[in-house]
Amino acid sequence: MVAALHQQARAADRERLLDLLEDHRLRQQVALSHVAGAAIEGAEVAVRDAEVRVVQVPVDHERDAARVVLPVPDLVRRAPDRDEVARAQQLLRIEQLQTRAIDDLGLDPTVLLEEFGPHRPVPVVHLPDADVDPDAPTEVPYVREQQEKRLRSAERALSLLGRVNPLALEEFAALEERHKFLVDQLADLKKSRTDLLEIVREIDERVEQVFADAYRDTAAAFDVVFPRLFPGGEGKLVLTDPGNMLTTGIEVEARPAGKKVKRLSLLSGGERSLTAVALLVAIFKARPSPFYVMDEVEAALDDANLGRLLELFKELQEDSQLIVVTHQKRTMEIADALYGVTMRGDGVTTVISQRMREDVSA
C-alpha cells in the first residue's frame, strides 16, 4: 500500500510541475526545472520518512502512554503542499528580480540576460594609476566565484565612499569660485610684493648713493677741519664695512700733534670734545644748512682751541645763521645779537636782547 501511495504522490507532483512549467514556460523555464527536481526529491524523502511516523499521547494517568500511528496518506499529502509553497516563493523572487532589472537598469530581463549573461565574457577593469601589461587579456570567461568576490570588493569600496551628496555640484561650484578668488588675490599679493621689492631696491640704491656722496664730502671736509683745530695733527673717517654702504659704520681716527694714539677713548676730555666739534663742522661744510644750533660746544676748550673754533664759526656765518648757547665772552663778542634771561627785583624772569651790529637782519 505504501508503494502505491508513493507512486501516486510522484505522479501527482509531476503533473503539478508540468502544469506550472506550461504556464511559465517562456519566463521561468530554466528556474522551474531546478525547482521541480528539488520538489520531487523532497516528496520522495517525505514518503520514505512517512512509512513509520509515531507520536506519543497520554491515555491514562496511571498507565503507560500508548503508541498511535498517524495515517500515512496525511503525510504524503502535506509534502506536495510544502513543495508548492517553495515553488511559489521562487517564482515571486524571480518576478522581483525582473521588476528590479527594469526599475534600476531600465532593461528587459531577456535583454539583460542576453547582453550580460554568464555566456558573455567579462571585461577586465584596471585602476587608472595601475601598471597594465599591454599583452594582458581585456576579457575573461565568466566565473561565478570570481565575480562574487569582485562584487564584495566593489561593495566595500562603495561603502567607504559614503552616501551620495545631492548638493555636491553646488558645493563644488562655490568652492571653485572661492578658489578662483583666492588665486586672484594671491596673484595680486605676489605682484604687490614684486613691486614693493623693486621700490625697496630703488630706495636702497638711492640711499646708498646719497650716503656715499655725503660720506665722501664729509671725510674730505674733516681732513681739512681737523688740522685747523689740531695744528700738526691728523684725523680721518674710516668705514667699518666698505663693501656694504647700507649697514656700514663710521670710525673717527684722531691723532693730535705729538701723540701716536688714534682711538678717541685714549684722548683727553678737551681733545675728544674738540674732535667732535671738528666732525660737526665738517658735516656743516659738506652739507650746508640755513642755520645751526649749538649748545655750549666750547665749554671744555681752552683759550687757544677756542680761538681756532671761533675762526670756523666766522666762516660758517657767511652762509648760515648760528644759534649758540654759551657762557664764553669771546664767543659773545663775535655774535651779531645777544639774547639772555635775567631776573628782576620782584623775582620775575625777563628775556632781554641786545644787537651788537646795526646791519643784522631782523
Which backbone phi and psi does 143 adopt, to 5 degrees?
A: -130, 120
Closest CA to 5 of 55, 84, 79: 79
Q: How many CA atoms lie within 13 A of 144 on its CB side?
A: 2
What pLDDT is attached to residue 61?
A: 43
Query: 341: part of which helix (H) or strand (E)?
Result: strand 337-343
Closest CA to 252 of 285, 219, 230, 220: 219
pLDDT along the chain (362 residues), means of 10: 46 48 46 46 48 42 43 53 81 83 79 79 76 78 86 87 85 95 96 95 93 91 88 87 87 81 73 85 88 84 84 86 88 88 82 74 46
All three cell numbers of 227, joined, read 688740522
Give, as one character, the DSSP assignment of residue 338: E
Task: Give the C-alpha separation, 21 to 34, whole Å.
Answer: 11
What SS3 class is residue 69?
strand
Give all domains of the chain, ordered by start, each with its CATH number.
2-121 (no CATH), 206-287 (3.40.50.300), 289-362 (3.40.50.300)
CA distances from 89 to 3, 34, 81, 84, 94 (A): 30, 14, 12, 9, 9
| Model confidence pLDDT, tens digit, residues 77-113 | 555 667 788 888 888 888 888 888 788 777 777 887 7
Task: Give the C-alpha separation, 222 to 282, whole Å.
Answer: 5
198-204 long-range contacts, CB within 8 A, separation 24+ = 204/246
Give, as one character, the DSSP assignment of residue 345: T
Task: Give the C-alpha separation, 87 to 17, whole Å.
Answer: 9
In this structure, are residues 42 and 76 in contact, taking their beta carbons and an 8 Å threshold?
Answer: no
Q: Concatenated DSSP letters for 292-303?
A: EEEESTTTT--H
Q: What is the 3-state secondary structure (H, E, C) of 101-123?
A: HHHHHCCCHHHHHHHHCCCCCEE
CB neighbourhood size of 282 (10 A): 23
What pLDDT is attached to residue 34?
A: 46
Q: Concatenated DSSP letters for 171-202?
A: HHHHHHHHHHHHHHHHHHHHHHHHHHHHHHHH
Amino acid at 93: R
Which residues does 74 contact at the CB level (< 8 Å), separation at least 6?
A: none
Which residues does 32 contact at the CB level (< 8 Å), separation at least 6?
A: 17, 20, 21, 24, 87, 90, 91
| Model confidence pLDDT, tens digit, residues 2-42 | 344 444 544 544 455 445 444 444 444 444 444 444 444 55
What pLDDT is attached to residue 126?
A: 74
Task: Give the C-alpha separation, 126 to 110, whole Å.
Answer: 29
All three cell numbers of 153, joined, read 570588493
pTM listed for this prediction: 0.48
In this structure, are residues 137 and 124 in contact, taking their beta carbons and an 8 Å threshold?
Answer: yes
All three cell numbers of 268, joined, read 683727553
Task: Give the C-alpha separation, 2 to 250, whole Å.
Answer: 130
